[in-house]
Structure 1
Amino acid sequence: MDEKVSTISTPIAGYRPQLTRLVCLLLLVYFALSSLWAGHPSEPRRPSFSYLADHCTSSISPIGTEEFLTRQKELAITLHNLNGSAAYVTEPSANGLFFANVSTVEWRLSERPLLLIITPKLEDGEIHPKLSVLAPRFEATRAKLLPIPFAQPNEIEWIEWPEEASPYELAVAALGEQKDGGIVFVDSATRYFVVDGLQKALPQAKVVAAPVEIKQLRERKSKGELEIMKCAHETTLLSIREVHKRLYIGMRESEAREMIATALADAGLSNGGCLTLFGDNAALPHGSGSDRTLGQSDFALFDCTGNLLGYQSDVTRTVALPDSKIPSGHLFIWERVQAAQLRAHDAARAGTATAIVDEVARSYLQRYGYEKYFTHRLGHGIGIEGHESPYLVGGSKDIIKTGHTFSNEPGVYIEGKVGVRLEDCFYIDEKGNAVLLTEGVGGTAKSALKP
Structure 2
Amino acid sequence: MGKVDTPVSRKEIAHTFATPKVTQSLEWRLFFSLAICATILYLHFLTDIGPKSHSADNDPWVGLASHCADAQPIDGSEVLQRQENLAKILYDHGASAYVAEPGANAQYFGNISQASWHLSERPLLLMIFPTLEEASIVAKITVITPAFEETRAKLLLVPGIDVTYASWAEDEDPYAVALHALSTLKGPIYVDGMMRNFIVDGLQKAAPGVHVMTAPPDVTQLRERKSLAELDLLRCANEVTVLGIRAVQAQMYIGIRESEVQVMIDEALAVAGLRERWALVLFGENAALPHGSGTDRVLGKADFILIDAGGLLFEYHSDVTRTFMLHDSSIPPEHTMIWYDVHTAQTLAHAVAREGVNTSAVDRVARDWLDGRGYKEYFTHRLGHGIGLEGHEAPYLRGGTDDTIRTGNAFSNEPGIYIEGKVGIRLEDCFYIDESGNSVFLTQGVGGQAQSPLYP
TM over 0.5: yes
Corresponding residue for 1:160? Answer: 167
SS at match of 2:377: helix
Structure 2 residue runs without a partner (length 5+): 1-55
Corresponding residue for 1:94? Answer: 104
SS at match of 2:166: strand
Q: Are 1:54 and 2:66 counterparts?
A: yes
Q: Are 1:214 and 2:228 counterparts?
A: no
SS at match of 1:373: coil
Shift, 1:368, TM fit:
1.2
Which residues in structure 2 correspond to 1:340-419 (within 5 Å)?
340-419=345-424
Cα distance in 2 for partners of 1:199, 1:81 equals 22
Shift, 1:85, TM fit:
3.5
CA contact (8 A) 1:184 1:205 kept: yes
SS at match of 1:427: strand
CA contact (8 A) 2:95 2:189 kept: no
* Residue deviations 1:60-114 (CA, integer Å, cap 9, x gap): 11111111111001111111112x2431100010001100011011111111111
Q: Letter of the 2:176 partner, please give it.
A: E
Classify 1:141/1:410 alpha carbon distance in 2 versus 1 (closer, same or farther; 3 Å). Answer: same
**What is the TM-score with the length of structure 2 in the denominator?**
0.85
CA contact (8 A) 1:85 1:177 kept: no
Q: Are 1:71 and 2:76 counterparts?
A: no
Larger RCO: 1 or 2 (CA < 8 Å, sep 6+): 2
Cα distance in 1 for partners of 2:95, 2:224 equals 23
**Cα-Cα RMSD:** 1.6
Cα distance in 1 for partners of 2:62, 2:278 equals 16
CA contact (8 A) 1:352 1:400 kept: yes
Among 425, 434, 441, the residue aligned to 2:439: 434
Shift, 1:272, TM fit:
1.0
Q: Are 1:421 and 2:430 counterparts?
A: no
Shift, 1:256, TM fit:
0.7
Cα distance in 2 for partners of 1:249, 1:267 equals 26
Cα distance in 2 for partners of 1:169, 1:288 equals 49
Shift, 1:175, TM fit:
2.9
Cα distance in 2 for partners of 1:378, 1:446 equals 20
Cα distance in 2 for partners of 1:207, 1:396 equals 25
Shift, 1:50, TM fit:
6.4
Structure 1 residue runs without a partner (length 5+): 1-43
Larger radius of gyration: 1
Aligned residues with identical type, % of pairs: 55
Among 146, 151, 154, the residue aligned to 1:141: 151
Corresponding residue for 2:267? Answer: 262
Corresponding residue for 1:305? Answer: 310
Which residues in structure 2 correspond to 1:161-180 (within 5 Å)?
161-178=168-185
Corresponding residue for 1:130? Answer: 140
SS at match of 2:250: helix
Shift, 1:246, TM fit:
1.1
Matched positions, count: 401
Cα distance in 2 for partners of 1:422, 1:242 equals 18
Cα distance in 2 for partners of 1:211, 1:95 equals 13
SS at match of 2:181: helix
Cα distance in 2 for partners of 1:175, 1:370 equals 56
Shift, 1:147, TM fit:
2.1
CA contact (8 A) 1:117 1:174 kept: no
Cα distance in 1 for partners of 2:288, 2:176 equals 52
Cα distance in 2 for partners of 1:252, 1:156 equals 53
Among 242, 245, 255, the residue aligned to 2:247: 242
- Higher mean alpha-carbon deviation, 306-315 vs 208-217, is at 208-217
Cα distance in 2 for partners of 1:253, 1:49 equals 19
Corresponding residue for 2:91? Answer: 80
Q: Letter of the 1:134 partner, please give it.
A: I
Shift, 1:48, TM fit:
6.0
**What is the TM-score with the length of structure 1 in the denominator?**
0.86
Q: Are 1:324 and 2:336 counterparts?
A: no
Shift, 1:177, TM fit:
3.0
Q: Letter of the 1:379 partner, please give it.
A: G
Cα distance in 2 for partners of 1:371, 1:437 equals 28
Answer 1 or 2: which has greater helix percent.
1
CA contact (8 A) 1:50 1:267 kept: no
Cα distance in 1 for partners of 2:193, 2:408 equals 22
Q: Letter of the 1:286 partner, please give it.
A: H
SS at match of 1:158: strand
Cα distance in 2 for partners of 1:307, 1:73 equals 27
Q: Letter of the 2:98 partner, please give it.
A: Y
Cα distance in 1 for partners of 2:372, 2:95 equals 54
- Higher mean alpha-carbon deviation, 361-370 vs 420-429, is at 361-370
Which residues in structure 2 correspond to 1:12-51 (within 5 Å)?
49=61, 51=63
Among 89, 113, 130, the residue aligned to 1:120: 130
Corresponding residue for 2:36? Answer: none
Shift, 1:51, TM fit:
3.9
* Residue deviations 1:299-355 (CA, integer Å, cap 9, x gap): 111111110001001100001111111111100000100011111111111111111
Cα distance in 2 for partners of 1:121, 1:421 equals 50
Cα distance in 1 for partners of 2:444, 2:219 equals 31
SS at match of 1:371: coil
CA contact (8 A) 2:95 2:190 kept: no
Structure 1 residue ranges (4+ consecutive) displaced by more than 2 angstroms after TM superposition: 47-51, 175-178
